[in-house]
Every structure is written in C-alpha cells, then in structure tokens.
Amino acid sequence: MTLVLRYAARSDRGLVRSNNEDSVYAGARLLALADGMGGHAAGEVASQLMIAALAHLDDDEPGADLVGKLGRAVATGNETIAEHVQEEPELDGMGTTLTAILFAGSKLGLAHIGDSRGYLLRGGTLTQITRDDTFVQSLVDEGRITAEQAHTHPQRSLIMRALTGGEVEPTLTVREAKAGDRYLLCSDGLSDVVSDETIQNTLAEGTEDEAADRLIELALRSGGPDNVTVVVADVIDLDYGQSNPIVAGAASSEDEEDTPPPNTAAGRAAAMRPPRATPKRVVPQAADEPPPKKRRALWWVVAVVGVLVVLVAGAVAGRFLILNNYYVAADDDRVSVMRGVPGSVFGYSFQSTELVGCVTDDGELTLVPPDPLPATCDVLTVDDLAPSARAQVRAGLPSGNLDDARGQMQRLVDGDLLPVCADPTTATPPPPAPAPGEPAPPAPAPAPEGGAEPAPPTEGALPEGQAPAPGQNCRAVG
C-alpha cells in the first residue's frame, strides 16, 4: 500500500481587506499555510518569507525525522524575518502564523504556531488537531469563558505566540496517516466566521477542489472580513499522487489571485467589492466654446460647502474617538496605556500617554500618570516582558475603553513579566559576633544522613545553572 496526497489550495483577500497577507503552499509532501500580520505589506513579507523557507521540504523524501526537518525550516524562516526587520526597521512588528504538514506515507509531522488551524476529518468526525495560541483560547482552557463565547470575545484576535523573528518554538507533533483521511489547513478568515459543524458538513462531500471552493464561498457569504485561505488534502492509496505544487495568496507571483466562478454565491459576493479607481482623463475643450462661468462658480460653492461639512463631521468624530479610545503600546520602550489612535498628520499626534506601568520586584503593577513619574516608580519596559509578548506590545494591543487597557496591562504582568535578575555578588552576611560575656550561639544542627533536602527555588527565580541575562531571561531593577 502506498499512501499519497491529493490536494487543493485556495486563497482570497476577502471583501474588506485591500491586500492578501496569507501565503499558502500545497505539494506532494508539504502543506503549509502562513497568515501574516503587522500592517499593510509587512504581513505579506513575513508570510512569504516563511513559506519560502519551508518550500524545499517538498523536493525530497523527508525520511524519519519529520519534526526535526520542520523545526529547522521554521527556525530558518524566523531568522530570515529577524534579518529583514534589522535591514528595514519600518518592518518592525511584522510576523506570521504557521500551520504546516510534512507528509511521509503513514506518518506526518505537524508544525503549528498562532491562530491558523489544522483539522482532520476521519470516519465522518471532524477533529481540530492544532491549538490556537490566542488570549481567548487561554481563557477557554482556564474555564473562564466557553468556546462559544470565544467566537465573539472582543480580544479574540490577540495572538500570544507568532513568528516575529524573536525566540519562539512552534508546537511540533507526529501523527499517523490513514487512507481516507481528509486534512484541512485554514486561516482565521474561515474559522472565525464559519462554524465547525458547517466546516465538517462541507468537508464530508465532494472532491478536495469542490470542498475548497465551497469553504471560500461560505467565508465570503459570511461577510469576508479577513483574508481567507484553505488547503484541503486527501490521503489516498495509489501508486502516485499529484506532483505539481500549488502556491497562492501573497506567496504567489501571479497578479491575479484565485477567484471563485462568477455563477456561484462566492463569485457574486466577490463582485460586490468596491471597484478599483481608474485614472482620471482630461477631456480638451473646443477653443470656440465659451466656458460656463456661472455654473462653474456654483459648483465651486457647492464643493467648498461639502468639504467644510466633511471636515467638521470628521473633526467631531475624530475627537470623540481620540478621547474615548485606549490601548496598550510601547511609549519610548515604556509599556503604557495610550489614549487616542496611532498615527499623526502634519506632525500632530493623535495619541498621548495616559498611564505608565510601575512594577515592583515582586511583580506588583501600579499605573500612574506619566508627568511627573513618582521617584519610587520602577518603570515597566518592553524588555521586562517575555520575547513573545514584545512584538505585540510594540505593534499595539487591541483598543477599547480604559478598563480594557488596564486589564491588558495586568495580564501582561501576570503572564509575561520576566523574573528579577539575581545579583551573583550578593551573599548571606555572617551572623554578628556575640558581645563579651554572652554565650556563643548554638552550632547549626548536623545535616541528616544522605544530605539535606535542597530548599525550594524562590518563585520567579531563574532555573538553577542559568546565568542571568537582562532583557532575555530576566529583568533589571533599580
């Protein structure tokens, strides 16, 4: 028996986004999907770099070391992202999710990080084979919210782990493959708007091409608020499978993205996209035709009044947004609660620092106004956080009201604050000598046979034998 893959891949930018930051690769041995993040263009770059780093795995038989090869390829892609950020600082904050399968007959290796998903349909039952690295998933795991509530949680897009060039390890597993299995890799543009039950019913019917087209159609019919990308792959018992790889999304070199047929619901939904603006043409006026001065003057009055109305309405709406919107971001490397929205026009900034975080050696957080800072404030900086959280803070956490921002600050300290760097030169002082005439202190009790039990490590301390490295595995104070 020879198990091979038969696969289909589709990617669509959706009905809201102006560009596609997803990249996808589907081949005889490799299935990989990356969902970029970090703003216009930057997300595309990150997902392209990651897919490019994995593509060579499709060339040769992977052998037995499936997760080893996947892990090394992911590390190479992550290093490439870091190099690009170093060469082009304006790309700082970009990153990507990744869900990838390396297929070798009856075994497959799975690499995952972020909120893209992998599913397995076996025997009519759909199983999610990846875990979302998101804030809301941690709330579900802790029993604080249900899976249904996670779909509408205001912070459902907050990713806790992603490939941003920093130190991070993907989740690597080995799974057994069986003839008849159908695998789905998808970006959150599908899983956020289409239920698992609908996904299962769709995967249970038709060929892999028909299922992929139908899933894209369902996402677009649900509003298509994000890029949507899917890979559907069947494990079949044949002498040979497909050999031509499929590359789509941001990783594709083609100008035109995959679009659904116009006679389907997806095609009709895609046709609702706003048309691209066409360049204006100047039509020359005949020399003997007098210009309509009065009409032109009337149009100027209407245009000026219209512009003034738009400016006033925009100013009122903008002021309301600036005064009532709060988010957590880095202000000169200080982790702060910002008021307003990121950006500026003609040098006028639309955001200001509302509160600055002060943290004690014991990890107790206090939020204080930035001007002036109390002398006792040990400012919480980006380098005081775990590397996986720094890119999220620099890019800015999701906005909301002031209480939301306070809660985000507390969760950062609770979950991502590095321990205090220990001072290797500090030693326990000897006991004071007894005064003349006083009895000497009793000698310490002898150690029990077999050696004394070692004292438990102090909470928040570094593992034994690990040297403190401020900004990497611990934080400096004082």
In this structure, are 266 and 331 located in the same domain? Answer: no
CATH of the domain at 76: 3.60.40.10
209: containing domain: 3-270
Q: Say if 80 falls within a structural domain.
A: yes
In this structure, are 234 and 372 located in the same domain? Answer: no
In this structure, are 61 and 204 located in the same domain? Answer: yes
Domain boundary among 270, 286, 316: 270
Average pLDDT over residues 359-368: 90
In this structure, are 47 and 162 located in the same domain? Answer: yes
Residue 358: the pLDDT is 94
Q: Say if 281 falls within a structural domain.
A: no
| Percent residues over pLDDT 90 in the chain | 48
In this structure, are 117 and 208 located in the same domain? Answer: yes
Residue 469: the pLDDT is 76
Residue 197: the pLDDT is 96
Around Cβ 455, how many Cβ atoms within 10 Å?
6
pLDDT over 70 (residue 442): no
Q: Say if 467 falls within a structural domain.
A: no
In this structure, are 51 and 160 located in the same domain? Answer: yes
- Tokens 């301390």 belong to 461
**CA torsion through residues 464, 468, 472, 473, sign:** positive
Q: Say if 275 falls within a structural domain.
A: no
The torsion region of residue 446 among left (phi > 0), alpha (psi -120 to 50) and beta comes to: beta
**CA torsion through residues 215, 216, 222, 224, sign:** positive
Higher-confidence position of 200 and 259:
200
**Listed residue (67, 73, 35, 309) closest to 189, CA to CA:** 35
- Tokens 């994995």 belong to 54
In this structure, are 352 and 264 located in the same domain? Answer: no
In this structure, are 229 and 353 located in the same domain? Answer: no
pLDDT classification of 324: cutoffs 50, 70, 90: confident
Domain boundary among 360, 382, 416: 416
211 vs 216: CA distance, rounded Å: 9
Q: Is 59 helix (H, G, I), strand (E, B) or coil?
A: coil
| Percent residues over pLDDT 70 in the chain | 76
In this structure, are 347 and 252 located in the same domain? Answer: no
The torsion region of residue 141 among left (phi > 0), alpha (psi -120 to 50) and beta comes to: alpha
- Please write the tens of the pLDDT for every residue from 44-80: 999 999 999 999 999 988 888 999 999 999 999 999 9
Report which DSSP code applies to 417. B
Q: Say if 459 falls within a structural domain.
A: no
In this structure, are 372 and 264 located in the same domain? Answer: no
- Using an 8 Å Cβ cutoff, are 412 and 440 in contact? no
Peptide bond before residue 387 is cis, with ω within 30 degrees of 0:
no
Higher-confidence position of 40 and 153:
153
**Listed residue (266, 186, 264) closest to 228, CA to CA:** 186
In this structure, are 165 and 28 located in the same domain? Answer: yes
pLDDT over 90 (residue 433): no
pLDDT classification of 275: cutoffs 50, 70, 90: very low
Domain boundary among 416, 437, 457: 416
Q: Say if 297 falls within a structural domain.
A: no
Sequence-distant (6+) residues with CB within 8 A of 135 are 155, 156, 158, 159, 160, 411
pLDDT classification of 9: cutoffs 50, 70, 90: very high
Q: Say if 329 falls within a structural domain.
A: yes
Q: Could you please report the per-residue DSSP string of 31-46?
A: EEEEEEESSTTHHHHH
Overall number of domains in the chain:
2
Q: What is the 3-state secondary structure (H, E, C) of 108-122?
A: EEEEEECCCEEEEEE
- Interior angle at CA 246, CA 266 and CA 108, nearest 5: 110
pLDDT over 90 (residue 194): yes
In this structure, are 197 and 79 located in the same domain? Answer: yes
Residue 320: the pLDDT is 60
Q: Say if 44 falls within a structural domain.
A: yes
